[in-house]
Amino acid sequence: MENQENSPNLENRESEEEIVQRLHELKMRAYRGAKDSIALHKDTIFPFAIMLKEKHPDYYSCRLYHLLIGSSIPPDLKITRFDFPGEDSIQKFIENLSPEQ
């Protein structure tokens, strides 16, 4: 019985890791394809990250926030959420980044 309860968690974890990999690739592709990668960061990614930080007190415990800002997750940090809902979704934000920005 215990294995059955743990099994969905493992499947979800794997799914999250696949999402993280895909989003990382999309973000890197946007940087590589940008006319000015510094401007992409300064004018698009950084303001979004600041908005999330101001709006969500738990921003630092969000897995995709670390992907967005390019930081590693400290080993002692407990991740309490994967992404933010709705218009604050980091997944949607990265998926909508275009290399032309």
Where do the domains of the chain lie?
A: 2-95
Measured in degrees and rounded to the nearest 5, phi and psi for residue 25 equal -65, -45
Instruction: Judge whether 79 and 63 are in contact, CB under 8 Å.
Output: yes
Q: How far apart are CA 40 and CA 44, in angstroms?
A: 5
Q: Which of 12, 10, 21 is nearest to 91 (CA)?
A: 21
For the stretch 1-26, pLDDT in tens is 344 444 445 554 558 999 999 999 99
Instruction: Judge whether 97 and 30 are in contact, CB under 8 Å.
Output: yes
For the stretch 47-75, pLDDT in tens is 999 999 999 999 999 999 999 999 999 99
Q: 62: helix, coil or strand?
A: strand
State the pLDDT at residue 15.
86
Whether pLDDT at 99 is above 80 = no
The verdict on pTM exceeding 0.85 is no
Q: 81: helix, coil or strand?
A: strand
